[in-house]
């Protein structure tokens, strides 16, 4: 297995496309050696711009992603695409015109597309999306486009993965903007109102701009979703301090609202320009460094927690011991807390990795 990974890394570094495909599969499925693979590739990451493209199902995200990839290709850039959308036409079901465009893109050797269905309601995609982006980055892609459907967990995933987040809406979103998921609003660095040839496009743009104006007192580019450690019910004073410092030092970025018509590529050059402008802003304000640092920190936290889970719950003696405690807990003689504490007290060597 170790030899396979070594050989794979060699072929990957030589720029073999088949090695990229295999590396993506190993990482996506967390097959044996995936962590060593990522670890070896890590030093080659950090060059790609990662652009998240999110929004409700049917907003035309895949079409925009395809067109954006085409424009970047025309500029001589290499493009990786990760589509995390069960309804994405990348996974089938595209209209004929879309499909022709997508097939053209998919056959371009300067483009690599990986489409994932979401994995049940538990998601668990944060890690995978981020890691697949790392692999594409390490392979030398200049842009990594991450298409996700904007529901539930995924807007947080994308904020943890992307340098820049584009939120795609359609005129039909008009009535729902007032009740739009706060998560989507918070992560948006740019808005695209797609299908703007339909009635209601101007109103959506107007409503968005009103809403952004109302929020003008905030440092919009610097939001909680881009920062720090997700500890759910655990307070994190360091994070709060970092956020405050970031907010104080950040210049303002007001997300532009771009009207587009994906089928005719209207608005696409404006989107490319706005993304460049936003990236320059991220660099100049120091926010890029802060976002990437927060992402690195979160990444390490996630790896630590994943390691802990694997070491504890894939360990047969620990599971056997735990199974032996269940009757006592069921019958009220011991509490789950007492058993948990006892389990941790006896698991030092396991948790630190010393027992392996």
- Rounded-to-integer distance, Cα 34 and Cα 72, Å: 30
- Contacts (CB under 8 A) with a copy of itself, residues 306-335: 307-310, 312-314, 319, 322-323, 325-326, 329-335
Instruction: State which residue, 199 or 337, has the beta carbon closest to a copy of itself.
Output: 337
Nearest approach, Cβ of residue 268 and a copy of itself (Å): 30
Instruction: State which residue, 243 or 347, has the beta carbon closest to a copy of itself.
Output: 347
Give yes or no for residue 1 binding a copy of itself (CB under 8 A).
no
- Contacts (CB under 8 A) with a copy of itself, residues 26-85: 30, 35-36, 38-40, 42-46
Selected range binding a copy of itself among 89-97, 208-216, 268-276, 338-346, rule: CB under 8 A: 338-346
Nearest approach, Cβ of residue 149 and a copy of itself (Å): 12
Give yes or no for residue 13 binding a copy of itself (CB under 8 A).
no
Instruction: State which residue, 40 or 172, has the beta carbon closest to a copy of itself.
Output: 40
How many residues bind a copy of itself, per CB under 8 A?
A: 80
- How many other CB atoms are there within 10 angstroms of residue 7's CB atom? 11
- How many other CB atoms are there within 10 angstroms of residue 97's CB atom? 11
Give yes or no for residue 305 binding a copy of itself (CB under 8 A).
yes
Three-state SS at 124 = coil
- Rounded-to-integer distance, Cα 246 and Cα 243, Å: 5
Give yes or no for residue 206 binding a copy of itself (CB under 8 A).
no
- Contacts (CB under 8 A) with a copy of itself, residues 101-160: 120-122, 124, 127, 151-153, 155-156
Instruction: State which residue, 76 or 232, has the beta carbon closest to a copy of itself.
Output: 232
Instruction: State which residue, 197 or 328, has the beta carbon closest to a copy of itself.
Output: 328
- Contacts (CB under 8 A) with a copy of itself, residues 166-185: 181-183
Give yes or no for residue 21 binding a copy of itself (CB under 8 A).
no
Instruction: State which residue, 74 or 232, has the beta carbon closest to a copy of itself.
Output: 232
CA dihedral for 221, 224, 229, 235, sign (positive or negative): positive
Q: Which residues contact 262 (CB under 8 A, 6 or more apart)?
A: 60, 63, 64, 67, 194, 195
Three-state SS at 169 = strand
Instruction: State which residue, 77 or 301, has the beta carbon closest to a copy of itself.
Output: 301
Q: Which residue among 18, 240, 244, 300 contacts a copy of itself (CB under 8 A)?
A: 300
Pair 312, 287: CB distance under 8 Å: no
Pair 256, 269: CB distance under 8 Å: no
DSSP character string of 43-84: GG-S-SEEEEEEESTTS-HHHHHHHHHHHHHHTT--EEEEEE
Nearest approach, Cβ of residue 181 and a copy of itself (Å): 7
CA distances from 294 to 160, 301, 328 (A): 8, 11, 43
Binding mask 219-258 for a copy of itself (x = CB under 8 A): ----------xxxxxxxx-x--------------------
Q: Which residues contact 53 (CB under 8 A, 6 or more apart)?
A: 61, 64, 65, 68, 145, 146, 147, 148, 166, 168
Nearest approach, Cβ of residue 324 and a copy of itself (Å): 11
- Contacts (CB under 8 A) with a copy of itself, residues 257-296: 289, 292-293, 296
Give yes or no for residue 25 binding a copy of itself (CB under 8 A).
no
Chain-centre distance of CA 181, in angstroms?
17
Q: Which residues contact 75 (CB under 8 A, 6 or more apart)?
A: none
CA dihedral for 139, 143, 147, 151, sign (positive or negative): positive
């Amino acid at each position: 297995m170790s030899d396979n990974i070594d050989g794979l890394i060699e072929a990957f570094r030589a720029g073999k496309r088949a090695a990229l495909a295999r590396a993506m599969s190993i990482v996506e499925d967390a097959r044996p050696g995936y962590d060593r693979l990522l670890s070896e590739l890590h030093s080659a990451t950090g060059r790609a711009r990662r652009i998240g493209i999110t929004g409700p199902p049917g907003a035309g995200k895949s079409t925009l992603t395809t067109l954006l990839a085409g424009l970047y290709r025309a500029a001589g850039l290499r493009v990786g695409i990760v589509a995390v959308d069960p309804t994405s036409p990348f996974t089938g079901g595209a209209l004929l015109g879309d499909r022709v465009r997508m097939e053209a893109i998919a056959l371009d050797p300067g483009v690599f597309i990986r489409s994932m269905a979401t994995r049940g309601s538990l998601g668990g995609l944060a890690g995978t999306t981020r890691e697949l982006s790392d692999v594409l980055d390490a392979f030398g892609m200049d842009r990594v486009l991450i298409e996700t459907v904007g529901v539930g967990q995924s807007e947080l995933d994308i904020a943890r993965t992307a340098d820049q987040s584009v939120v795609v809406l359609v005129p039909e979103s008009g009535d729902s903007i007032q009740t739009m998921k706060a998560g989507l609003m918070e992560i948006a660095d740019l808005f695209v109102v797609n299908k703007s040839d339909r009635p209601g496009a101007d109103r959506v743009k107007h409503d968005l701009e009103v809403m952004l104006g109302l929020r003008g007192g905030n440092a919009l580019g610097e939001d909680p979703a881009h920062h720090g450690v997700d500890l759910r019910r655990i307070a994190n004073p360091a994070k709060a301090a970092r956020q405050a410092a970031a907010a104080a030092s950040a210049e303002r970025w007001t997300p532009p609202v771009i009207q587009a018509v994906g089928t005719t590529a209207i608005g696409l050059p404006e989107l490319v320009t706005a993304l460049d402008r936003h990236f320059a802003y991220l660099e100049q304000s120091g926010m890029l460094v802060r976002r990437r640092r927060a992402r690195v920190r979160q990444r390490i936290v996630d790896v630590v927690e994943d390691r802990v889970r694997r070491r504890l719950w894939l360990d047969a003696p620990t599971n056997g011991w735990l199974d032996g405690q269940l009757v006592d807990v069921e019958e009220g003689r011991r509490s789950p807390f007492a058993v948990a504490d006892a389990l941790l007290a006896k698991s030092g060597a396991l948790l630190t990795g010393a027992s392996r």
